[in-house]
Amino acid sequence: MKLSIREDYPRKLVSIPLRVLIVSVSIFVTAISSSCVPADRPKYSASEAERAQISGFENIRAHVDDPRPSAEAYDPWRPVVMKGRPTMLAISGGGAGGAFAVGIVSAWSELGTRPTFEVVTGVSTGALIAPLVFLGPEYDHQLRRLYLSDETSGLIDIEWKGAGIFSPSLLQGSALRDTVEENITSEILHRIAREHRVGRRLLVMTTNIDTQRAVIWNIGAIANSDRSDALPLVRRILLASASVPGIFPPVAIKTTVDGKDIEELHSDGGSSAQFFTLPEHLLVAGNNRARGQNLHIYVIVNNALMPEFSMARARALPIMGRAYGILLKSQTKQGLIALYNFAQRSRIDLDIASIDAQVPYSMADPFNASYMRSVYLIGYRNTLNQRLWSKRPIFAPPPIIKQ
C-alpha cells in the first residue's frame, strides 16, 4: 500500500531547528552577548575541559579530531559485523529539510530494500531522526507524524527578556525540549540498548561551545549502561545537537574533573559539520585501500547542494541570512568532497542523496508545512523511482528554464 501524506496525524510538534531568518538574527545577538557567562556557572580551564568526564559513564563520547585511539578504547565503538557488507547511514542537519530524510526511509521501507544499518549517525535535525531510523521501519509513522505536522509554529516560543540579547537565546526552547522528551522514552532507550548489545551503533554529534570542538556521543553505550540518569542524558544530547546557537538555548551537560563539578555548554552539531561518518584521523590518512573494503556508506543531505537563486533584499538581516545559507552549503560540499576522496582510495561504496529541486521557501515562515511536505515527497518519490542515490557529490545548478 502506498503512503498517503494526508493521514490524520496527531497534533505534535516537529522538533527541528529554525532556519535562515532567525539564524541571521542570532549572529548579531551572539556577537553582542558572546562574552556573557551565567554567574552561577563554574569556571574551568582548557586543560580541565580536555579531561572532563560524565560521572558514572565511561568511554561514551569522543572528539571528532581526537588522534587514533587505542584498541581498548575503540572496542566499545566498533560495530559487530555479522555480514559481509556492513552499512552506515549518516543523516545530516537541515532543519525543516529533515522531512526529506523521512520521505526516503518511508519509501525505502515500502520497497523492502532498507538495510539494517550497523551504524547510524545524526547531526542537528538528523540527530532527532537517527534514533527512530536506527530502531527500524516500525517507527516510520512516528517520524512522519513529527515532520508532517501542521503545528510546527508552536516551536517559536519567543524569549522576551531583551529579545534574546540579554538571555542565552531568542527562543525559550521549552517546546523543542518537550518534543524530545515525548519521543525519546524509556521504551525507546531500552530498544536502543538492545540493538547496541547486538553490536549496532548509534552516534550523535554536538558542538562544545566552550572548546569549539565536535563531540560524538555513543548513544547505544549510554542506553546500555542501565543507569537511571541515562535517559535524561540522552535527551539532553539530542536536544543540544538540534539547538541552533542563539536561537535555542545551549544545553548544559554536567561533567567532573579532578573531583570538581563543571558545566559544559553544548549546542547544534551542525556548527561543526553537517554530517558525520568517520573521525578526522581516518579522513586525512594517506593510504587506506584495504581498511574500508566492503563498507557501504549512505549519506542523506537534508538540503540542496546546488546553488538556489533568490533575490536578496538589500538589508542587513536578509543578506546575513543568505550568507549563512551559503556557508552551510560550502561546509556540506567540503565534507562530501573529503568523504568521496577517502571512499575512492579506501574502496568504500558511497551513496549520497540530497534535495535535487529548488523548493519555494520563505525565511519569514521557517516551519512551513507545504515546504516540509514538498521535500518529503521529493525523498519519497525519488526513492520509489530508483533515482535518489548518486555515487559522487553533485553541485551543478539545475537547468535554467527561460520565462
Highest mean pLDDT among 11-15, 99-103, 344-348: 99-103
Instruction: Assess whether pLDDT exceeds 50 at residue 32.
Output: no
Please write the tens of the pLDDT for every residue from 367-381.
Answer: 778 899 999 999 999
Rama region for 49: left / alpha / beta (φ>0; ψ in -120 to 50; rest): alpha
Residue 312 confidence (pLDDT): 76
219: left (phi over 0), alpha (psi -120 to 50) or beta: alpha
- Cell match 518519490: residue? 381
Give, rounded to a whole angstrom, the gap between the first and last alpha carbons of the chain. 39
- Residue range 291-314: average pLDDT? 84
Q: Give the predicted TM-score (pTM) of the model.
A: 0.86
**Is residue 324 classed as helix, strand or coil in its secondary structure?**
helix
Which of the pair, 138 or 72, is modelled with greater confidence?
A: 138
Q: For residue range 339-369, list pLDDT tens digits in order.
A: 999 999 999 999 999 999 989 876 656 677 8
Please give the pLDDT value at position 153: 54
Alpha carbon separation from 40 to 36, 37, 43, 159, 198 (Å, rounded)? 12, 9, 9, 20, 42
106 in Cβ contact with 129 (< 8 Å):
no
Three-state SS at 337:
helix
- Give the helix ranges, DSSP H, for 210-306: 219-223, 230-241, 280-283
What are the pLDDT digits (tens) for 215-251?
Answer: 999 999 999 999 999 999 999 999 999 887 777 788 9
| pLDDT(80) > 70 | yes
- The angle at the Cα of 331, spanning 315 to 235, to the nearest 5 degrees, equals 95
